[in-house]
Amino acid sequence: MDNKGQLYLILGSTASFIIAAVHVAIVLIGPSAYDYFGGDYLVPLVERGSPFPALLTLGIALIFVVWGVYALSGVGVTQRLPLMRTALIIIGMLYTLRGLDFVQDIFQRLFEGFSRPVKFTVFSAVSLAVGLLYLVGVIGQWQRISLTKRPAAEGIEHRQEQH
């Protein structure tokens, strides 16, 4: 791993896959897992046998899998995906924005005696860390990602050279 940013994107990808696996585990474990991870509003639906919570949670898991694959694409482990650089930046920003709750939680805990469970502060910290992994990884891989040509662009350049 001699390219800057590769390790960060691989770690970000791994984190995304772990988060996806946690979402699958939530579906398998059921109501107590939904309650623990903040989906307490879905518990009554789970208990009634509604498929909605499982479909929603598995859909979220799928999004995290796609994000993990994008990070692997950013380091060249998989084929180049559409809008790779843009997608990696957006993914990093979404994780980071979600993680900014961590900063607010810390200030509220220090100055206002915040009563929200610590686990939610930890979830925010993890999100912030993963977002920074993606963003630092993209910056480190910027040139490699930018230099990779898309097949459509190569075809256009080739046609222009013939005229």
pLDDT of residue 156 exceeding 60, the answer is: no
Helices vs strands, H then E, count in the chain:
8, 0
pLDDT of residue 163 exceeding 50, the answer is: no
Query: What is the C-alpha to C-alpha distance for residues 13 and 63, in angstroms, rounded to an integer?
Result: 12
3-state secondary structure labels for all residues of 139-159:
HHHHHHHHHCCCHHHHHHHHH
Full-model pTM:
0.84
Reported as a single tens digit per residue, the pLDDT across 63-106 is 999 999 999 999 999 999 999 999 999 999 999 999 998 988 88
The residues near 141 (Cβ < 8 Å, ≥ 6 apart) are 3, 4, 5, 6, 9, 74, 75
Query: What is the C-alpha to C-alpha distance for residues 29 and 31, in angstroms, rounded to an integer?
Result: 7
Mean pLDDT confidence for 117-144:
92
* Sign of the CA dihedral with 92 first, then 97, 98, and 102 last: positive
Per-residue DSSP letter, 25 = H
Mean pLDDT across the chain: 88
Contact 129, 123 (CB under 8 A): no
Look up residue 49 and give its two tokens. 């046998």
pLDDT of residue 114: 67
User: Which amino acid appears at position 57 of this protein?
Assistant: T
pLDDT of residue 150 exceeding 90, the answer is: no
pLDDT of residue 161: 46
Burial 27-39 (b: 16+ CB within 10 A, else e): beeebebbeebeb
Give 146's pLDDT tier (boundaries 50, 70, 90). Answer: confident
* Sign of the CA dihedral with 101 first, then 55, 64, and 34 last: positive
Mean pLDDT confidence for 128-142:
95
Reported as a single tens digit per residue, the pLDDT across 34-64 is 999 999 999 999 999 999 999 999 999 999 9
Q: Which residue has the tokens 């990779």?
A: 148
Reported as a single tens digit per residue, the pLDDT across 9-42 is 999 999 999 999 999 999 999 999 999 999 999 9
Give 151's pLDDT tier (boundaries 50, 70, 90). Answer: very low
